[in-house]
Amino acid sequence: QINSNASLTVSLAQTPYCKKHRYDPQNPLCAHIIFCGSIVKVNDSEAGLAKKALFSRHPEMESWPKDHNWFFAKFNITNIWVLDYFGGLKVVTPEEYYNVKP
C-alpha cells in the first residue's frame, strides 16, 4: 500500500539452456530479462479474467483462507531490460516486448 513498485527477473539459468551450453549463471550469455513497474489491484471488470487465469494454473489457491484479504493484481510493466550479451543492458519498451511475434 505504501510503495507498489516491483521488479521481476527471469533467467535462462532457470532452464536447462545454460547448463547445456556450460554457461555460468552469471555469464551474460546465460541471458536474463528484468521487468520493472508497479503492482496494481485489478478493477471489477478485470477480476473475472484474473480469477480464471490464476485458478486454472493454481486450483488449490481458490480454497485459501478468505480472511487473509487476498486480492487480484496485475503487474503494470514500465521498463524492461535484457542482459543477453557483453556490453551492458538493452532497453526494450513494453510496446516492443508485447508486439514480438513468437
pLDDT tens for each residue of 18-39: 999 999 999 999 999 999 999 9
Predicted structure pTM score: 0.80
- Counting the structural domains of the chain, the total is 1
Q: Which stretches does DSSP call E strand in 4-84? A: 5-11, 32-41, 73-83
The CATH number given to whatever domain includes residue 54 is 2.30.110.10
Three-state secondary structure call for residue 92: strand
Rounded-to-integer distance, Cα 50 and Cα 100, Å: 23
Q: What are 49-62's pLDDT values in tens digits?
A: 999 999 999 999 99
